[in-house]
Every structure is written in structure tokens, then in C-alpha cells.
Amino acid sequence: MRYLIAPDKFKGTMDAQEVAETIAAGIRDFNPTVEVDILPLADGGEGTAALLARYFGADRRVFETVDPLGRPIEAEVFIARREAILDLSAASGLWRVRVEEREPFRSNTYGTGKIIKYLIDNGLERIYVGLGGSATVDVGLGLGLALDYKFLGADQQLVQPLPIWFSDIERVEAPDLTQIPEVIGLADVETLLTGPQGAIYTFGPQKGLTPTQIPTLDRTIAVLAARIDQALGTNFSTIPGAGAAGGFGYGILTFAKGRLISGFNVIAEKVGLVDRMAVADVVITGEGKLDSQSLHGKGPYGVAALARRLKKPIWALAGVIEDRDHLIAHFNRLSSLVSNEVTVEQALKNPVPILRRRALEMCRSFAEAAAS
């Protein structure tokens, strides 16, 4: 038997490498003689830049910028020759803001924009941006501000592009961006900008929006996007991925004149996932939480789709699994750390032995089913 272990991170507890190694240990607990190929993955979410940097041979750099609330910080970027790779979450991530500090109406992506502006000014030819894990719902207007776009009110006065002031923005003036490099957003979701399945309804709660704020902000952003599109002659709000990272995907398309691609597809190509899966007997993937949203661009779904194409058994291990009825059509086996015997708190506090045990249990179950 040859197992390919290709998981994403368990956010907040284990990175993808740790997840893969723990699953491998559980498999070897069941059968020490099996072959195990460890292949940690990312899909555009947190950790994408560091993972890609290994394959690009990029060097880590640190830049001074600001967090979502405008406080001075340092954030990492990886540079290889004339290309740069960064995670939006490095400067504008939810991890930068304590729960009690979260103010999505007063947060923006200006800090990430400052880094991108610096890279542009210093002649970088291509900039990759991982779009997961943002603390913001500013639809990339912070990026626009950093790139010298002007947001004006009815009185022609400058309006600070924070969500609390979005309804005051009447007009947008574009700078001269003739020298802008290729900016590529690595999306981990296919979410649209607005609507019931859009960025605000889907991701607003995790960023701190209340149920009453969500429909109001969604309508405000729809009006704002129409004004921006009219002023700039663009219309990107209905592009899949525009809603990624609180709408930062829309910001890349609109203000950086960039494009969006699947973060998973980029990494899968770089690591040779197809070739390594082709020689595996069983493929195992996973992430911290598997639910119906995982079917819209997340790494485990990408692994599962490829495994089905190659007719490989595909198993998934996750911290928490929801919407099993939606997932079961895509995975041969599903197992979560959280169960009747293990609470969420226990899984978060001590995930390694639980994950290792779940991997052992899946192997045992598979062997028993094969024997019968």
C-alpha cells in the first residue's frame, strides 16, 4: 500500500506539514511497512505564501506596514528574482486583531496595499497574493487607497475608504497605473462580491459583523460597486472569487488590474500533485473544518476532485465536519477529531494524538471492509 497524504492546515492548531506527519504516524501505527508520501498543501489561505516560497526558491523579507486597524506592524513577504509572494493575512489577517478589538466597519486592507505599492515601485514584475484569512470587508478599497485611487464624496472631499463611510463615496478617480506589474490573487473560494451567497453573508460573521449589519452592508457594497464600476468602466462584482477575503478579490481586479486564479491549482502544479497521486493507492486530505463551503475552491475539494478523476480512493480527516450529506458524494471516507467522546475544546487543545488515532482507525476500518 502506498498512501499520499495531502492536507491543508488545521487553522489555529497545526500547519499542513504537522497535519501530514501526524496522519502518517497514525498510518504507520496500523502498518509500519506501508509507503507514505507526505505532501502538505495550501489553497490560497494562510500559509500559502510560505509554502509557495519553498518551490519558488524565494527569500523571506519583512516590511513595515499597518494592521487592519491602522496600527504599525511588520509583515513578511517572499521575493524570488522579479516575483513576490505574500499572504493578505500577513498584514490584514484576522489573527492580527483580538476578538474584542474586531471592528470590521473601521478596518481595511491598506496595510496589504502598502506592501503591494512598495513592490510595484521597486520594479517587481509579478506579485502573487494569497487571499485567505482576512479581518476585513472593505472590498479592497484599502488597496485602492494605497495605489493612489481617490474616493470622493458629494462635496468632492476625500472620503476615507472604510466600510463605515462607504455610503458617502460618490466618485472614484484613478491614478496613472501604466507601470503596474501582473498582480495575481490566489483565491481559496469562488464567492461572488454581493448577494446571499456573497462575501458579506458568507464571511461577515467570522469578521465580527452582526446579523443586522450584514444585509445593510451588503446593499451598501452593491451600490458602491456600481458607482466604482461606472467611474472606472469595469464590472467585476459578479466574477467568481471577487468576494474572496472580504471582497479583496474584487479589489485586485478593479484597482490593481490583476486577475484571480485558484490557489490550489497553482500549488498543485508546483508540487507535482498529479504525478504523485498517480502512483498512490489511497489519498488522504483534510483541513481544520470541512463543510459545504469546502466544495467551492478549498484545497481538500481540489484533492478529492483530482483523486476521483484518477480513480483513487479519497479519505478526509478534519477537526470538525459539517454538512456530511453534501460531502459524502466527494469522499470515500470522512472522519473528524470532534466526536461524541471528543469536544471541540479538547480537539483544539490537544489535536495531535486525536488526529493520529483517527488515521489509525480509518486504516483499520478500510482493512476490515476489504477483508469482508
Residues 256-312 pLDDT 10s: 999 999 999 999 998 999 999 999 999 999 999 999 878 877 889 999 999 999 999
CA atoms within 13 A of residue 203's CA, in its CB half-sphere: 30
pLDDT at 179 over 80: no
Q: Where are the domains of the chain?
A: 2-40+272-371, 48-263
Q: Give 341's contacts (C-beta < 8 A, 6+ positions apart).
A: none
Residues 12-39 pLDDT 10s: 899 999 999 999 999 999 999 999 999 9
CATH number for region 48-263 = 3.90.1510.10
Q: Structure pTM?
A: 0.89
For helices 263-271 and 299-309, the axis angle rounded to 10 degrees is: 60
pLDDT at 120 over 80: yes
Residues 330-346 pLDDT 10s: 999 999 999 999 999 99
3.40.630.30, 3.40.640.10, 3.40.50.300, 3.40.50.10350: which CATH number matches 2-40+272-371? 3.40.50.10350
Which residue is associated with the grid cell 477537526?
319
Average model confidence (pLDDT) across the chain: 94
Residues 77-91 pLDDT 10s: 999 989 999 999 999
Q: Are 96 and 214 in contact (CB under 8 A)?
A: no
CA atoms of 68 and 70, how far apart (whole Å): 6
The amino acid that residue 307 corresponds to is A
Buried b or exposed e, range 342-352, using 16+ CB within 10 angstroms: beeeebbeebb
% pLDDT > 70, the chain:
100
Residues 212-241 pLDDT 10s: 999 999 999 999 999 999 999 998 999 999
Residues 130-145 pLDDT 10s: 998 999 999 999 999 9
Q: What is the CA radius of gyration of the chain?
A: 21
pLDDT at 295: 81
Burial class (CB in 10 A: 0-12, 13-18, 19+), 178: exposed
CA atoms of 72 and 233, how far apart (whole Å): 35
Return the closest-CA partner of residue 352 out of 2, 11, 51, 13: 13
